[in-house]
A = this chain, B = another copy of it.
């Protein structure tokens, strides 16, 4: 519980100050057509509109802005399937910090290309046979780089938590005092950060993690009370949230603050992407659409007259998006 004790609302408020003028305050969107499908009011926080196309830039920027000048000069290293990668690459470039990113060779092409284009050195690895933690630790040591983990890092969690600060204000503006917030959940950085922020700013708004079928480690961990692992490492289109297990730092926070997990099949993510296209004019990637999918197609899992959904990213390759439209729009 060390992580949780050290990480508190002040860290999230500090992150909001560090990120001011860099991170985009995303709006809160809605459509009467989505309300009708869900049977309740649905509000969508489109983090696909964030710089680099996902919320990950929030944590990345806060983490790099928190480093010492020497650490920034030596450079940072990160591993990521793509969204943390792009967030780190852009934040590093803005802080004149060299960045090295370890990415799975089967990550979406767009994510790999963007990470390179943002100035990062990209090292590809094989998800099935190589260990990214080992590669990361070795390169960090050899080159004196600071490792910025994608979720088990206090500055990263605090940065993602700034979404919770914005949501608390936006919910108030919409007249919502009590609701559930559905959050796409991989390692739990976004989920735990938002939950910590809302605990203080809007205690009647409860976070519910949402996961793909076959990758429901957080849902099972919440049920059993200890960290559970997924048996598989790939096999879902939700590439952004296929993490083996919740983090050592994130799980105690999630366990203390969140409601039960919700598990959604891949097909519903494609259907949600099509609805976001038609009704919100947003491009959302499969893993980013999973919370909207839960709100629209699994309403019986949710309580309350209103539900808030985080659409966590939009970095999807065009052929998959066109497929979702062809089948479901």
Q: Which residues of A contact B (CB under 8 A)?
A: 24-27, 29, 32-33, 46, 48-49, 53, 90, 110, 114, 117-118, 274, 277-278, 280-284, 314, 318-319, 321-322, 325-326, 329
Contact = CB atoms under 8 A, between A and B. Distances in A.
> Counting chain B CB atoms within 10 Å of each CB, which of A114, A281, A326 scores highest?
A281
A118 B36 CA distance: 12
Give the secondary structure class of A's interface. helix
A207 to B, nearest CB: 23
Give the oligomeric copy count. 2
B283 A314 contact: no
17 contacts: A24-B27, A25-B27, A26-B27, A29-B49, A46-B281, A48-B281, A49-B282, A53-B281, A277-B283, A277-B321, A281-B283, A281-B284, A281-B314, A282-B283, A318-B329, A321-B325, A322-B326
A314 B326 CA distance: 18
B321 A49 contact: no
B49 A277 contact: no
Nearest to A315: B281
A98 to B, nearest CB: 18
A49 B318 contact: no
A325 B317 CA distance: 10
A278 B33 contact: no
Nearest to A114: B33
A24 B280 CA distance: 13
A263 B277 CA distance: 28
Contacts of A46: 281
Ranked nearest first, the 4 interchain pairs of A and B with the lowest CB-CB distance are: A281-B314, A318-B329, A281-B283, A48-B281
Contact of A325 (B29, B48, B322): B322
Contacts of A277: 283, 318, 321
Nearest to A24: B27
A275 to B, nearest CB: 11
Nearest to A26: B27
Contacts of A26: 27
Contacts of A322: 322, 325-326
A75 to B, nearest CB: 20
Contacts of A117: 33
B281 A49 contact: yes
A278 B110 contact: yes
> Counting chain B CB atoms within 10 Å of each CB, which of A49, A117, A278 scores highest?
A278
Contacts of A24: 27, 29
Nearest to A329: B318
Contacts of A32: 90, 118
A57 to B, nearest CB: 12
Nearest to A274: B318
